[in-house]
Amino acid sequence: MDGRQRGGVANGRQMRDLAGGAISVIKKALHKLLEIHGLEIRCWQRCCIPPSRPENSRKWLGYRMSMCWTPNKVTLLRVLVGFAAVSLFGRGMWANLAAVGLTVASIALDALDGHIARTKKLATPVGAQIDILGDRMIENVYFTYFAAVGMVSLWLPVFFFARGAATDFLRGLTMHAGHSGWGANAMLQTWWGRGLVASRWSRGLYAAMKCLCFCYLGLELALTRGPVALIGELAADAKMLISLGAQLLTWATAGFCLVRGLPVLLEGWKYFADGIVARGGKRIARKIA
């Protein structure tokens, strides 16, 4: 056998080895895909198909809720729904009405994430901060849009942004000091502070006021403003009355927002002052040393 023949045989062996290795890799990959596919089918059946026995239906509903919904997921969905609603405003008569419906859905989701956190015992300090972040995003995007189109004062979104930044800053200081948003170690120690900020009636009233405010402004936009308004041909007095109602409602919401923020500002300020005093004492001690 000459050199060419020996080289051909060696190349053939290498090709067969490569082909065998490739086939082995493909078989392993297919086997893994089948395992994953079977796992996905089992998970889908367990999560989405109700059991045949009635006594297991309640367990299935609880499992499905725990698998598919968490407070943080609902908060994310709420923010997305709110942004979708704002993006529809000003795009036509029916788009404005759809935006109003999405606004109501966004506020309803705000109540749902708290309900899931309480019933499933999933309330955490991080989850509370994510919920507050979602509230800030919703408030700012709505009031900024309505201010940009001239329906409310520009100072309204500025106020909500400043109030949210101040209260969140103080909350961060208290969390750094070891306090939480609820329980015996909560930041708010006075009964009136807890009543204004953390009670269900306060949170529910504030959510209802925001929902009413956003929906009122959205309906005003859909009914009386723009070339596609449903009842745009109104008398000047009627338009002025509707606009006055919007101003009163928005500033009433802002006023209640300020009242709810006062306990956080008053009780959180001492942590800010204590931090300044502590840093000043450390500097003096360093200079003396």
How high is the pLDDT of residue 289?
54
CB of 93 within 8 A of CB of 228?
Answer: yes
Question: Which has more confidence, 44 or 288?
Answer: 288
Question: Which has more confidence, 128 or 152?
Answer: 152
Whether residue 275 sits in one domain with residue 186 = yes
**Structure tokens that stand for 265 in this block:** 């500002």
How high is the pLDDT of residue 85?
94
Q: Does the predicted TM-score (pTM) go above 0.75?
A: no
Whether residue 269 sits in one domain with residue 130 = yes
Q: Alpha-carbon torsion 64, 66, 67, 68, what sign? A: positive
Whether residue 91 sits in one domain with residue 220 = yes
CB of 186 within 8 A of CB of 179?
Answer: yes
Residue pLDDT, tens place only, 26-67 = 556 545 544 544 444 444 445 444 455 554 555 545 545 445
- C-alpha distances (whole Å) from 272 to each of 157, 162, 185 are 25, 17, 18
Confidence band, pLDDT 50/70/90 cuts, at residue 84: very high
Per-residue DSSP letter, 2: -
Please count the residues of the chain: 289
* Single-letter amino acid, residue 27: K
Helix axes 3-48, 57-68, angle to 10 degrees: 120
Question: Which has more confidence, 257 or 180?
Answer: 257
Instruction: Evaluate if residue 23 carries a pLDDT over 60.
Output: no
CB of 83 within 8 A of CB of 102?
Answer: no
Whether residue 105 sits in one domain with residue 79 = yes
Q: Is residue 67 part of a domain?
A: no
Helix H, strand E, coil C: the string for 87-149 is HHCCCCHHHHHHHHHHHHHHHHHHHHHHHHHHHCCCCCHHHHHHHHHHHHHHHHHHHHHHHHC
**Structure tokens that stand for 289 in this block:** 């040393």
Other C-beta atoms closer than 10 Å to the C-beta of 99 total: 24
Residue pLDDT, tens place only, 124-134 = 777 878 888 88
Q: Is residue 66 part of a domain?
A: no
DSSP string, 152-194: S-THHHHHHHHHHHHHHHHHHHHHHTT-BSSSTTBS--SHHHH
Domain containing 238 equals 72-285
How high is the pLDDT of residue 141?
94
Whether residue 273 sits in one domain with residue 174 = yes
Structural domains in the chain (count): 2
Whether residue 205 sits in one domain with residue 171 = yes
Whether residue 232 sits in one domain with residue 196 = yes
